[in-house]
Amino acid sequence: MSDVQNQVMKGSFKLSRVGVRNVKKPVMVRRPGKDVTLIVTFDLFVDLPAELKGSHMSRNLEVLSRVIDETVRKQVSGLEDLGAMICQELLLRHEYAKYSEVRMSADYFLERSLGNGTSSLESYTLKASASSIKGGPTKKCIGVEVIGMTACPCAMEEVRKIRGVSKDDTNASITHNQRNVTSVSLEVPMDTQLEADKLIKIVESCLSSPTYEILKRADEAQVVISAHANPKFVEDVVRDVLGKILEEFKNLPDDVHVKAKSESFESIHKHNAYAERDTTLGELRA
Amino acid sequence: MSDVQNQVMKGSFKLSRVGVRNVKKPVMVRRPGKDVTLIVTFDLFVDLPAELKGSHMSRNLEVLSRVIDETVRKQVSGLEDLGAMICQELLLRHEYAKYSEVRMSADYFLERSLGNGTSSLESYTLKASASSIKGGPTKKCIGVEVIGMTACPCAMEEVRKIRGVSKDDTNASITHNQRNVTSVSLEVPMDTQLEADKLIKIVESCLSSPTYEILKRADEAQVVISAHANPKFVEDVVRDVLGKILEEFKNLPDDVHVKAKSESFESIHKHNAYAERDTTLGELRA
Amino acid sequence: MSDVQNQVMKGSFKLSRVGVRNVKKPVMVRRPGKDVTLIVTFDLFVDLPAELKGSHMSRNLEVLSRVIDETVRKQVSGLEDLGAMICQELLLRHEYAKYSEVRMSADYFLERSLGNGTSSLESYTLKASASSIKGGPTKKCIGVEVIGMTACPCAMEEVRKIRGVSKDDTNASITHNQRNVTSVSLEVPMDTQLEADKLIKIVESCLSSPTYEILKRADEAQVVISAHANPKFVEDVVRDVLGKILEEFKNLPDDVHVKAKSESFESIHKHNAYAERDTTLGELRA
Amino acid sequence: MSDVQNQVMKGSFKLSRVGVRNVKKPVMVRRPGKDVTLIVTFDLFVDLPAELKGSHMSRNLEVLSRVIDETVRKQVSGLEDLGAMICQELLLRHEYAKYSEVRMSADYFLERSLGNGTSSLESYTLKASASSIKGGPTKKCIGVEVIGMTACPCAMEEVRKIRGVSKDDTNASITHNQRNVTSVSLEVPMDTQLEADKLIKIVESCLSSPTYEILKRADEAQVVISAHANPKFVEDVVRDVLGKILEEFKNLPDDVHVKAKSESFESIHKHNAYAERDTTLGELRA
pLDDT, tens digit, 9 for 90 and up, residues A128-160: 999 999 999 999 999 999 999 999 999 999 999
Stretches where chain D sits below pLDDT 50 are: 1
D158, C218: Cβ pair inside 8 Å? Answer: yes
Q: Are A212 and A112 in contact (CB under 8 A)?
A: yes
A61, C213: Cβ pair inside 8 Å? Answer: yes
Least Cα separation, residue B286 to chain A (angstroms): 35
Give ranges for CATH 3.10.270.10 in chain D.
13-136, 145-286
Residue C169 has pLDDT above 60, yes or no: yes
* Nearest C-alpha in B relative to D1: B217
C120, A61: Cβ pair inside 8 Å? Answer: yes
Q: What is the DSSP string of C82-138?
A: HHHHHHHHHHHHSTT-SEEEEEEEEEEEEEEE-SSS-EEEEEEEEEEEEEEETTS-E
> How many residues appear in chain A?
286
Reference B212, options B149, B265, B157; nearest CA is: B149
Q: How far apart are CA A19 and CA A55, in angstroms?
A: 7
**From residue A112, how far is each of A33, A219, A226, A241 by CA, in Å?**
16, 13, 16, 20
Partner B contacted by D213 (CB < 8 A) = yes
Q: Are C133 and C90 in contact (CB under 8 A)?
A: no
Q: How far apart are CA A60 and CA C273, in angstroms?
A: 31
Kindly state the helix (H) or strand (E) to which residue A179 belongs, with its residue range. Answer: strand A177-188
DSSP type of residue B162: H
Q: What are phi and psi of D62, to 5 degrees?
A: -65, -45
Give ranges for CATH 3.10.270.10 in chain C.
15-136, 145-286
**Hey, which bits of chain D come out as E strands?**
15-31, 34-48, 99-113, 119-133, 138-151, 177-188, 209-210, 257-264, 272-280
Q: Are A109 and A147 in contact (CB under 8 A)?
A: no
Other beta carbons within 10 Å of C96 = 16
- The CATH number assigned to the domain with range B137-286 reads 3.10.270.10
At residue A95, the 3 state secondary structure works out as coil
Residue C1 has pLDDT above 50, yes or no: no
Least Cα separation, residue D228 to chain A (angstroms): 15
Residues of C in contact with A109 (CB under 8 A): 24-26
Q: Are A111 and A124 in contact (CB under 8 A)?
A: no
Residues of D in contact with C146 (CB under 8 A): none
Q: Of the candidates B122, B265, B271, which has its C-beta nearest A270's C-beta?
A: B122
Q: How far apart are CA B284 and CA D81, in angstroms?
A: 53
Other beta carbons within 10 Å of A235 = 26
The mean pLDDT of chain C is: 94
Strand partners, C43: C103
Domain A146-286 class in CATH: alpha beta
Site from D52, D154, D268 to mutate, A interface, most A CB atoms within 10 angstroms: D154
Partner B contacted by A178 (CB < 8 A) = yes
Per-residue pLDDT tens digits for A160-187: 999 888 777 767 799 999 999 999 999 9
B268, A224: Cβ pair inside 8 Å? Answer: yes
C13, B53: Cβ pair inside 8 Å? Answer: no
The mean pLDDT of chain A is: 94
Reference D196, options D236, D157, D261, D141; nearest CA is: D141
Q: Are C185 and C259 in contact (CB under 8 A)?
A: yes
For chain A, how long is the longest CA-to-CA vector?
84
A271, D53: Cβ pair inside 8 Å? Answer: no
Residues of C in contact with A37 (CB under 8 A): 26, 37
At residue D155, the 3 state secondary structure works out as helix
**From residue B46, how far is each of B4, B7, B93, C152 by CA, in Å?**
18, 18, 10, 20
From A26-30, B89-93, B259-263, C204-208, the region with the lowest mean pLDDT = A26-30
Q: How far apart are CA D43 and CA A261, in angstroms?
A: 15
Least Cα separation, residue B82 to chain A (angstroms): 28
Partner B contacted by C43 (CB < 8 A) = yes
ipTM over 0.90: yes
**From residue D204, how far is each of B180, C269, D208, D240 by CA, in Å?**
41, 13, 8, 11
Strand partners, A182: A146, A262
Mean pLDDT of A110-138: 93
Q: Of the candidates B172, B174, B213, which has its C-beta nearest A172's C-beta?
A: B174
Half-sphere exposure of B252 (CA within 13 A, CB side): 23
Stretches where chain B sits below pLDDT 70 are: 1-2, 170
Q: Would you identify the CATH topology of the domain D13-136?
A: Urate Oxidase (3.10.270)
Least Cα separation, residue A229 to chain B (angstroms): 11
**pLDDT of C2:** 55
Q: How far apart are CA C210 and CA A37, in angstroms?
A: 26
D274, A15: Cβ pair inside 8 Å? Answer: no
Q: Are A273 and A261 in contact (CB under 8 A)?
A: no
Question: Confidence class of residue C206 from pLDDT cuts 50, 70 and 90?
Answer: very high
CATH of C15-136, one of 3.40.50.1820, 3.10.270.10, 3.40.50.300, 3.30.390.50: 3.10.270.10
**From residue B14, how far is each of B88, B230, D8, D245 by CA, in Å?**
21, 52, 71, 51
Partner B contacted by D121 (CB < 8 A) = yes
Return all residues near D253 (Cβ < 8 A) that are at least 6 apart.
D189, D281, D282
Q: Is B164 left (phi over 0), alpha (psi -120 to 50) or beta?
A: left
Partner D contacted by A12 (CB < 8 A) = yes
Q: Are B87 and B145 in contact (CB under 8 A)?
A: no
Mean pLDDT of C266-276: 98
Give ranges for CATH 3.10.270.10 in chain B.
11-103, 137-286
For chain B, how long is the longest CA-to-CA vector?
84
Domain A14-136 class in CATH: alpha beta
Burial class (CB in 10 A: 0-12, 13-18, 19+), C125: middle
**pLDDT of B204:** 98
Q: Are A79 and A30 in contact (CB under 8 A)?
A: no
Return all residues near A262 (Cβ < 8 A) that are at least 6 apart.
A150, A180, A181, A182, A183, A234, A237, A238, A241, A274, A275, A276
Strand partners, C101: C45, C131
Q: Of the candidates A61, A157, A272, which has its C-beta nearest D21's C-beta?
A: A272
D54, A235: Cβ pair inside 8 Å? Answer: yes
Least Cα separation, residue D34 to chain A (angstroms): 31
Angle, nearest 10°, between helix axes C153-163 and D217-228?
80
Partner C contacted by D237 (CB < 8 A) = no
Q: How far apart are CA C40 and CA A39, in angstroms?
A: 11
Site from C24, C72, C108 to mutate, A interface, most A CB atoms within 10 angstroms: C24
D107, B23: Cβ pair inside 8 Å? Answer: no
Q: Taking the model in full, what pTM does it have?
A: 0.96
The mean pLDDT of chain B is: 94
Q: How far apart are CA A42 and CA A25, in angstroms?
A: 8
**pLDDT of D6:** 85
Dihedral of the alpha carbons of B180, B186, B187, B188, in degrees to the nearest 10: -160
**pLDDT of C168:** 72
Residue A1 has pLDDT above 50, yes or no: no
Q: Are C55 and B277 in contact (CB under 8 A)?
A: no
Burial class (CB in 10 A: 0-12, 13-18, 19+), C42: buried
**pLDDT of D1:** 41
Return all residues near D25 (Cβ < 8 A) that are at least 6 apart.
B109, B121, B123, D39, D40, D42, D64, D65, D68
Per-residue pLDDT tens digits for D167-192: 777 677 999 999 999 999 999 999 99
Q: Of the candidates A23, A109, A214, which has its C-beta nearest C213's C-beta?
A: A23
Reference A136, options A100, A170, A162; nearest CA is: A100
Residues of B in contact with C282 (CB under 8 A): none
Q: How far apart are CA A194 and CA B279, in angstroms?
A: 54
Q: How far apart are CA A126 and CA A73, in angstroms?
A: 23
Residues of A in contact with B212 (CB under 8 A): 268-269
Kindly state the helix (H) or strand (E) to which residue B45 belongs, with its residue range. Answer: strand B34-48
Q: How far apart are CA A126 and CA C170, in angstroms?
A: 51
Q: Are B187 and B141 in contact (CB under 8 A)?
A: yes
Q: How far apart are CA B183 and CA B199, in angstroms?
A: 9
Domain C145-286 class in CATH: alpha beta
Per-residue pLDDT tens digits for C53-112: 999 999 999 999 999 988 877 788 899 999 999 999 999 999 999 999 999 999 999 999
Q: Of the candidates C236, C242, C272, which has its C-beta nearest B21's C-beta?
A: C272
Using CA of residue A248, residue A250, residue A252, residue A254, what is the dihedral sign?
A: positive
Q: What are phi and psi of A284, to 5 degrees?
A: -65, -35
**From residue A225, how far is each of A219, A220, B232 by CA, in Å?**
10, 9, 19
Domain B11-103 class in CATH: alpha beta
A 49-78: CB under 8 A from C: 58, 61-62, 65
Mean pLDDT of C224-240: 97
Partner A contacted by D198 (CB < 8 A) = no
**pLDDT of B80:** 96
C157, B274: Cβ pair inside 8 Å? Answer: no
Q: How far apart are CA A27 and CA A77, in angstroms?
A: 11
DSSP type of residue B76: B
Per-residue pLDDT tens digits for C14-50: 999 999 999 999 999 987 788 899 999 999 999 999 9
At residue C66, the 3 state secondary structure works out as helix
Residue C3 has pLDDT above 80, yes or no: no
Least Cα separation, residue A24 to chain B (angstroms): 24
**pLDDT of B145:** 98
Residues of D in contact with A275 (CB under 8 A): 15, 17-19, 48, 55
